[in-house]
A and B are shown apart, each in its own frame.
Chain A
């Protein structure tokens, strides 16, 4: 690491340069095949700012030394959003984790963990409207940066729809963004600014009544109206989880009521996801409009080893389980391709699908204004990179599977 850069950063906060520690920051949940790991760069250093001022100073230093910055929350997303593709400074936001409550919202720092927000909200008689299934560990900034869907999305939509405003930092300082301008940050993986904090909408802490219904996917679609959350798992997925043997819909409502025992059990497992995953399997995630969901399900059900579905207000998110190896990876890619054919696409972009970003041109133009040197998480979200090029190439071979 450049001595002058180290010295400048050290004056701001603790700078981590131990090679083993840096190596860990090459990873998130994304499985990168060995042959492609050469495209990943070990960060120059990891810094953990404690407040806005430190973030601003780090940004100033990065700009002065022209070193890219990769923001990072808990690294639990499978899209490689915080995997460095350039020699970068990793900005680990986990020490910025304060939050405070207003009437109908919580203002939470980027590094706050969703479950801790939920616990605290409950003490105020409130509850998060939406949160990720990885809420036990994932951070506010991380989930917003990928525009996630999760628990509660059926009633309340994606996290974008539940953010009132964001405070973001870039090379010009700190600004508050809301309304239409949120699209430049939510789902942009920190390529246009560092999310410092978010004002997140809350709901009344009404109890959740859960039912688990054995039904086909087609039937499931007709049973979710008015629900708060709905999650379908096909029998193959449930069998891999050792949870059941029949296609099952978990459907949850806000309000009093007994629900069913299995429903309660199913609901209680919501924060312990990925139970069908092993080191031999991967997930491919696709998002499709409600009207295409049945067709997507039918067209992909033979492709995967099992399917989990999360319903949101206007979209349906499919998680298909696949094995490892080239043929399986092609199947996983085909899963996304079929979604595209039906008006959907990949669940998120990160480093895998920047070429499929729907507002690429708008984001590119905005980025040129706020980050002309392309230092904020380069090669992500809407910028092509070696991974996305390989996936694009792979699409030519989907006929094989």
Chain B
């Protein structure tokens, strides 16, 4: 299959640290193995088939491979570009990714939730504002408590914001990560139109996937379409760090799980930790933290298509969290919270940062 991109890898194998490879232990699932195959395809010595495509999608695009790569290869970009090409050549998306795409074309969110109920979690009336709280699909349909706590905390911190409810559409992150840019662009257009109409200038997101997509991918779409894109985009952990002056005294020891899209992809490591410290939580770091943090296993379409692998990775992360001696994980991503809490069950409590902040700022 001519035309696929290739990568000049030194084959050191240090990327075998990949959580998917560690769960499955077959070389075709290591970043090095995938690059070797893709390079062979590029020069025409090998042909793409369903198995290879499936293996390429066995990756949460967590980016740890890029961090440990001595040759500094930008592998996150490489995986996303490769997937994009597979979709363009109509060899992808995979079955469940395709199903989620169909659902999103119909409902504008990947969960098939009723768009009219998108802001059912909201407990108070919001006015028109230049600041938008973009709750994202997971918080809006699967993790109401995160959306609710975030909104309550922002309000208590004096942020005047609006929520667009049925006029908030999926940001397109799940599709960007799985190479389906056409639907991401469609969602970009729909969201942008509403934001312009509503006079939005600043966007606060709960979900690091939304944060990365709106902050990094949307400006590229806008540039392609020659549209101005001048929104200020912030992840809520940064807003909390900026505004939370009150020191808390929560009687809680917890560890913090760095979401890949917030940490490795966007470089936000310290804001959530600062908020946790100010809340008075005793923070006990896991051995793998910040840029070396282990992925929760959910991202990049992995949980959607290969749930067992995602759960195996989450299980390892939970074991690592429990080894800190605490049984509480704080994270700042609804999707991480969703995956970790489901796998962790009764063994561990998974909290979103907003739930901590809400407790501190509430009188």
Which residues from chain A sit less than 8 Å from chain B, CB to CB?
16, 18-21, 23-25, 27-29, 31, 46, 48, 74-76, 92, 94-95, 111, 119, 123, 134, 136-138, 272-279
Contact = CB atoms under 8 A, between A and B. Distances in A.
Given A76-B16, A136-B68, A23 B37 contact: yes
B70 A28 contact: no
Given A23-B40, A25-B27, A136-B68, A277 B10 contact: yes
B71 interface: yes
Interface in B266-288: 287
Contacts of B13: 28-29, 74-76, 134, 137-138
Interface residues on B, range: 20 to 34
Given A74-B16, A134-B12, A273-B70, 8 more contacts: A20-B28, A20-B52, A21-B33, A24-B36, A29-B10, A74-B13, A94-B25, A279-B9
A20 B25 CA distance: 16
B287 A136 contact: no
A123 B27 CA distance: 30
A22 B74 CA distance: 26
Contacts of B46: 19-20, 23
B197 interface: no
Interface string B7-18: 011111111110
Given A24-B36, A48-B26, A272-B68, A123 B51 contact: no
A278 B51 contact: no
A20 B26 CA distance: 12
Contacts of B71: 277-279
B6 to A, nearest CB: 12
* Interface residues of A, dominant DSSP: loop
Given A20-B28, A23-B36, A123 B11 contact: no
B11 A274 contact: no
Contact of A95 (B9, B25, B40, B52): B25
15 contacts: A20-B52, A21-B26, A21-B27, A23-B36, A24-B32, A28-B11, A29-B10, A46-B27, A74-B16, A92-B25, A92-B26, A134-B12, A137-B16, A137-B17, A273-B14
B103 to A, nearest CB: 32
A24 B9 CA distance: 13
Interface string B48-78: 0101100000000000000010110000000
Nearest to B37: A20
B114 interface: no
Contacts of A24: 27-28, 32-33, 36-37
Contacts of B16: 74, 76, 137
B323 interface: yes
Contacts of A21: 26-28, 33
A247 B32 CA distance: 33
Interface in B23-50: 25-28, 32-33, 36-37, 40, 46, 49
B51 A20 contact: yes
Nearest to A276: B70
A67 to B, nearest CB: 20
Q: Which of B8, B25, B27, B32 has the most chain A CB atoms closer than 10 A to its own CB?
A: B27
A94 B37 CA distance: 21
A76 B287 contact: no
B17 A123 contact: no
A279 B11 CA distance: 9
Nearest to A281: B10
Interface in B88-113: none
A96 to B, nearest CB: 10
B78 to A, nearest CB: 14
